């Protein structure tokens, strides 16, 4: 199902980025429990590949019973049964479809802070709100990216993504920054992420410019919440604000973005075994130095945490 802006005459332009929802109705099955796993299985790769989505919708059911679904970063919520064999259920289903056709794009689950730009060289516009040192208030900076470097999956397919980005839409092939976009559980990850920039900046201060480890740790220029505009105000983007009345007692996820100068490609992009060996050796030596000198332990060593940077001999 696609948004109403995509008319029948424009079917050839429909792509993954503007796909609204997946509908799985199986008339030959008697049980909704047999249909729901099919919906989840088919929605996951769609949601994972849509970088401009905060959440996704879905419909699943049989010829008599239908359930509406909302897919979040790590959760799936289902509505009460819609009995389409009766007049009331029929009206409810039609009302839902009409609502999807007429409501604003943010209610469809699209992220207003990440936008696809078509025409010319297709790319993403990504907003990052930072505190201006001179003004002492939040200002919006927009970056431009046509490459998602790494995307880490979760249950539904949305955990962390890294974008190679430029401050100039005419310099898409020359990234200047690396943007990390992540939905994290407030109960487990938020405290460590909020101080990530402080830790990395402290490591830079400890090792100094002349140290052999001066280039081993990325210097974060910004780490903070993603803000969504509501009228004249900005609201932090969380699952609580996105799914009002749905989260219940479940975990709250926070939408955050970090910004750091461009250093290079992830280790998964290494072209030969020697690069991998050198990169891992350098990373282990730097992490050991961070522990010995700064009592700092990295809690997520993976191919997504080690990046390659060409150094002069």
- CA separation, residue 87 to residues 63, 69, 84, 100, 226 (Å): 14, 21, 7, 20, 42
Is residue 279 within 8 A of residue 303, CB to CB? The reply is no
Question: pLDDT in tens for each of the 313 residues of the chain?
Answer: 434 443 333 334 446 666 778 888 886 666 778 888 888 888 887 777 788 888 888 899 888 889 999 888 777 888 889 998 889 998 999 998 888 888 877 788 888 899 988 878 889 999 998 877 777 788 889 999 998 877 666 556 556 788 999 999 999 999 999 998 888 777 654 445 545 667 777 777 777 665 677 777 766 677 788 988 766 788 888 888 777 666 555 667 888 898 888 877 778 778 888 888 888 888 888 888 888 888 887 776 777 678 787 766 5
Cβ within 8 Å of residue 245, ≥6 positions away = none
Q: Which residues pair with 117 in a beta bridge?
A: 123
Is residue 2 within 8 A of residue 22, CB to CB? The reply is no
pTM listed for this prediction: 0.78
Burial of 98 (0-12, 13-18, 19+ CB in 10 A): exposed
Instruction: Count CB atoms within 10 A of the CB of residue 201.
Output: 14
Distance CA 294, CA 279 (A): 21
């Amino acid at each position: 199902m696609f948004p109403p802006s995509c008319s029948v005459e424009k079917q050839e332009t429909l792509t993954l980025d503007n796909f609204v929802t997946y509908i799985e109705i199986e008339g030959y099955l008697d049980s909704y429990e047999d249909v729901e796993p099919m919906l989840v299985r088919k929605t996951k790769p769609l949601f994972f590949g849509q970088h401009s989505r905060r959440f996704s919708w879905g419909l699943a059911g049989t010829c008599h019973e239908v359930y509406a679904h909302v897919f979040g970063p790590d959760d799936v919520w289902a509505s009460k049964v819609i009995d389409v064999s009766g007049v009331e259920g029929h009206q409810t289903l039609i009302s839902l479809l009409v609502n999807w056709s007429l409501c604003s794009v943010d209610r469809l689950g699209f992220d207003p802070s990440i936008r696809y730009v078509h025409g010319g060289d297709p790319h993403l516009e990504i907003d990052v709100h930072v505190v201006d040192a001179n003004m002492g208030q939040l200002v919006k900076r927009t970056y431009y990216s046509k490459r998602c470097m790494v995307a880490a999956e979760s249950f539904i397919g949305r955990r962390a993504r890294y974008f190679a980005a430029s401050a100039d839409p005419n310099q898409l092939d020359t990234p200047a920054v690396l943007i990390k976009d992540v939905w994290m559980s407030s109960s487990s990850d938020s405290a460590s992420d909020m101080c990530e920039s402080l830790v990395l900046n402290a490591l830079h201060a400890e090792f100094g410019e002349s140290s052999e480890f001066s280039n081993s740790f990325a210097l974060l220029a910004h780490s903070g919440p993603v803000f969504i505009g509501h009228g004249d105000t900005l609201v932090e983007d969380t699952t609580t604000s996105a799914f009002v009345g749905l989260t219940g007692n479940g975990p709250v996820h926070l939408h955050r973005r970090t910004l750091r100068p461009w250093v290079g490609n992830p280790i998964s992009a290494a072209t030969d075994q020697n690069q991998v060996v050198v990169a891992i050796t350098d990373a282990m030596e730097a992490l050991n130095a961070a522990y010995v000198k700064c009592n700092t332990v990295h809690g997520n060593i993976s191919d997504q945490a080690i990046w390659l940077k060409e150094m002069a001999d």
